[in-house]
Structure 1
């Protein structure tokens, strides 16, 4: 089965963040509501997935969004498609504020 070019991702954008263990559930809900749902609503976005892991001394989060083109990413990220777009409450939760996301071409 083949998909047409509008539904086949050509790029993925990967954001990663860490919080304290005690913020695991609260930040999970916040990231999903304020981040994942927002990305899902952006025209051109094909898909977005959120991953989370509770570690011994912290919690880790990863959001992967799938895009048909760099132009679709620029519509929400601006010219620098690797620049992080922080959520309003990220400084309250995240142990570090990453400046950049990872960008990969889907082969």
Structure 2
């Protein structure tokens, strides 16, 4: 039986619209692959607004211990990518961690 996710780790950051495409490519190349290798699942979202583009990454974990092992310590600490200061309007100061209470997909 596959392991079920019980924890979601949520990161959000924003960039200028004129460099959003470049940051998206960077996230896909550098930020997502480590999560794909370790987490049970990962999603990347983008919301384009007039003055800024928001990116949200949600990774899914079986438990807090697995997430803590990935982050090598405190799971709420932000681990910025090398080029984040170049792209982001401001560096996010925290990660949100949510317990998954309902997990249903494919509902009509």
TM-score by length of 1: 0.89
Q: CA separation in 2, counterparts of 1:38 and 1:9?
A: 17
Q: Please report how far the alpha carbon of residue 21 of structure 1 lies from its aligned counterpart in structure 2 after TM superposition.
A: 0.6
- Runs of 4+ in structure 1 deviating by more than 3 angstroms, as ranges, are none
Is residue 21 of structure 1 aligned with residue 9 of structure 2? no
Is residue 60 of structure 1 aligned with residue 54 of structure 2? yes
Q: CA separation in 1, counterparts of 2:40 and 2:94?
A: 21
Is residue 34 of structure 1 aligned with residue 30 of structure 2? yes
Is residue 104 of structure 1 aligned with residue 98 of structure 2? yes
Q: Please report how far the alpha carbon of residue 78 of structure 1 lies from its aligned counterpart in structure 2 after TM superposition.
A: 2.5
Which residue does 2:106 correspond to in 1? none
Is residue 71 of structure 1 aligned with residue 65 of structure 2? yes
Q: How many residues align?
A: 101
Q: Please report how far the alpha carbon of residue 99 of structure 1 lies from its aligned counterpart in structure 2 after TM superposition.
A: 1.7
Computed over aligned residues only, the root mean square deviation of the Cα atoms, in angstroms, reads 1.0
The SS at the match of 2:97 is strand
TM-score by length of 2: 0.88
Q: Please report how far the alpha carbon of residue 75 of structure 1 lies from its aligned counterpart in structure 2 after TM superposition.
A: 1.4
Structure 2 unaligned blocks of 5 or more:
102-108
1:49 equivalent among 28, 34, 43:
43
Which residue does 2:84 correspond to in 1? 90
